[in-house]
Amino acid sequence: MFARSALAQYWADIRPYFAFSSILFFASMVVGGSSVESGFLERQAEALRALGDMVGQAENPQLFLFLIILVNNVFKVIFTMYAGVIVCIWPLFMLVANGTFLGYFLIDQAGGAGLNPWLLFAVGILPHGIFELTAIFLACAIGMRFGVMLLRGIFGSLAGRPDPWRGFVRTAFASVPVAILIAVLLLTAAVVESTVTVWLVAQTYGTS
């Protein structure tokens, strides 16, 4: 499972899904950035502001931010990876919803407040986003492959094809090292977001 050849095969299996996840996410960002205000997106923005208020009121804001980011992200991303077995629906929803909201937040919310969206992306998203988005794309890639391989296994069994569940089983094995890698990426992202990103935003915008 953890042999170099096995890991290379796992990556070859999920690479097309990883690429599709990346494209779908960034395409959704464009849609979110050009969309009119919607109730769903505004509720997400309100939730983000409420989280910021909670962090500000915590006894140790930096530790609180680190823990809430880590726990929230690990739960959501690992859930997404295995929930993809239900015909890929949840990974697709997560990519579209998160991409759309990020685009909406940068253009509508930040841009509307007079902030440069690209600068905000560079200092407020990119430092930790390199790790976090990689983890999300990996999870969604595995999740979508789970869904596709499930359908292939079902229809292959009905058609009497030999070894119809081979792809599904291989994806299940691949999910173990990928889950470990995702956990490491999200831990790194949480550390960076609660330290480096906070510092960069404070230095750029003069906040504390």
Whether 136 and 25 have beta carbons less than 8 Å apart is answered as: yes
Confidence of residue 144 (pLDDT cuts 50, 70, 90): very high
Q: How many residues does the chain have?
A: 208
pLDDT band, residue 55 (cuts 50/70/90): confident
Share of the chain above pLDDT 70, in %: 97
Q: Quick check: 208 pLDDT over 60?
A: no
CB 96 within 8 A of CB 24: yes
**Helix count and strand count (H, E) for the chain:** 9, 0
Q: What is the pLDDT of residues 101-122, one digit of tens each?
A: 999 888 877 777 788 888 999 9
CB 85 within 8 A of CB 147: yes
Q: Is the pLDDT of residue 126 over 70?
A: yes
| Per-residue pLDDT reduced to its tens digit, 63-73 | 888 999 999 99
Residue 16 has pLDDT above 90, yes or no: yes
Looking at residue 107, what is its pLDDT? 84
DSSP letter for 156, please: H
Into how many domains does the chain fold? 1
In 3D, which of 8, 22, 15 has the Cα closest to residue 137?
Answer: 22
Q: How far apart are CA 139 and CA 112, in angstroms?
A: 33
Q: Which two tokens stand for residue 207?
A: 């906040």
Alpha-carbon distance 104 to 100, whole Å?
A: 6
Q: Is the pLDDT of residue 36 over 80?
A: no
Considering only residues 56 and 14, tell me which one the structure prediction assigns the higher pLDDT. 14
Supply 198's token pair: 């906070």
Domain residues for the domain of 30 are 4-205
- Using the predicted structure, report yes or no on whether residue 143 has a pLDDT greater than 60: yes
Give how far Cα 111 sits from Cα of 104, 115, 202, Å.
Answer: 9, 5, 18
Q: Examine the pLDDT at 14 and tell me if it is beyond 80.
A: yes
**pTM, rounded to two decimals:** 0.90
Q: Taking 70 as the threshold, does the pLDDT of residue 97 lie above it? A: yes
- Provide the pLDDT for residue 18: 97
pLDDT of residue 5: 82
CB 123 within 8 Å of CB 50: no
The structure tokens 């009497």 sit at 160
d(Cα 181, Cα 67) in Å, to the nearest integer?
19
Which of these ranges, 28-32, 78-82, 84-88, 184-188, has the smallest mean pLDDT? 84-88
Instruction: Give the integer Cα–Cα distance in Å for 109 and 107.
Output: 6
CB-CB contact of 14 with 174 (8 Å) = yes
